[in-house]
Amino acid sequence: MGWPIAEVARMSGVTARTLRHYDEIGLLPPARIGANGHRYYEERQLLRLQQILVLRALGVGLPEIGRILAEQVDEVEALHGHHRRLLAERDRLDALAGTVSRTIAELEQSRKDGSTMTSINRPENLFEGVRPSQYEATLKDFPEHAEAVARRVAAMTPQEVEAGQRERTAQMIRLAELMAAGHPAGAEPVQAEIDAQYRALIQLRAGAMSAEEYRALGRSCVDNDAWHAAYESIAPGLAAYQRDATEVYAATRLS
């Protein structure tokens, strides 16, 4: 008995290739492998897959997921823990959605009457619900960059770190405004914004990035779950827009 890999892929929305990868790294071995070489999964494996997907949705990397699952003993208690994390993430996203909604409303109003945004008078309102650590995990995909950034951040005060995170979020919001205005990824205003992002990165890193490394960083806006979620929480489609704009910049200014 059990479900074949194709059926598990259909039910979970995870590709068969990903399920095979989870097996290869020891994260989710199947219950058995049939005489035909096909993988079959039973209820225990489906519950484990659910936990993997929940942790991935929370931005946890595969090595850390493996450690968490290896250390847990009671499945019900583990699910209680995952549930608490999901509720906390829901509350954070609700706060972030409210922040973006207020910003949109205030931008529209300020453009109508020429007034100053209320949230700019209290700039912390722009960043309510934004969690700095959601960006840090993505740097693990780029060890050299992560090491350089970690050294720089370690030398910064908490106030400097917070200011840097606020500016990063402000960059995302400015890019979202350009996207909403209909500018293509290669348009001059967009590329000027990407240039500012690049210069901020190399200042933080204290060294230039190659065109290919910057392309890879741009692709992570879509491929990395945590980073993709951060961009999409600002505006749907922003992750792909950032990726495409980064690709144009790398091809025209760094190659």
Do 102 and 158 lie in a common domain? Answer: no
Mean pLDDT of 48-59: 84
What mean pLDDT do residues 163-177 have? Answer: 80
Whether residues 139 and 250 share a domain: the answer is yes
Cα–Cα distance measured from residue 174 to residue 243, given in angstroms and rounded to the nearest whole number: 15
What b/e readout covers 11-41, taking b as 16+ CB neighbours within 10 angstroms?
ebebebeebeebbeeebbebeeeeeeeebbb
Residue 56 covered by a domain: yes
Q: What is the pLDDT of residue 132?
A: 43
CATH of the domain at 245: 1.10.490.50
Same domain, 170 and 114: no
173 and 68 share one domain:
no
Q: Which residue has the tokens 């897959």?
A: 49
Matching residue, tokens 């489906």: 46
Q: Assess whether 119 and 52 both reside in one domain.
A: no
Q: Do 66 and 96 share a domain, yes or no?
A: no
For residue 136, is it within any domain?
A: yes
pLDDT level of residue 126 (50, 70, 90 thresholds): very low
* pLDDT band at residue 68 under the 50/70/90 scheme: confident
Q: Any idea which residue has 């790398």 for tokens?
A: 250
Answer with the residue of higher pLDDT: 236 or 251: 251
Domain residue limits at 213: 130-254
Q: Over 50: is that where the pLDDT of 17 sits?
A: yes
Instruction: Output the pLDDT for position 143.
Output: 62
pLDDT (mean) for 222-235: 79
Q: What is the dihedral of CA 195, 201, 204, 210, to 10 degrees?
A: -110
Both 141 and 123 in one domain: the answer is: no
Regarding pTM above 0.75, the answer is: no
What span, in angstroms and rounded, lies between the C-alpha atoms of 128 and 97?
9
77 in a domain, yes or no? no
| 135 and 250 belong to one structural domain | yes
Whether residue 146 is contained in a domain is answered as: yes
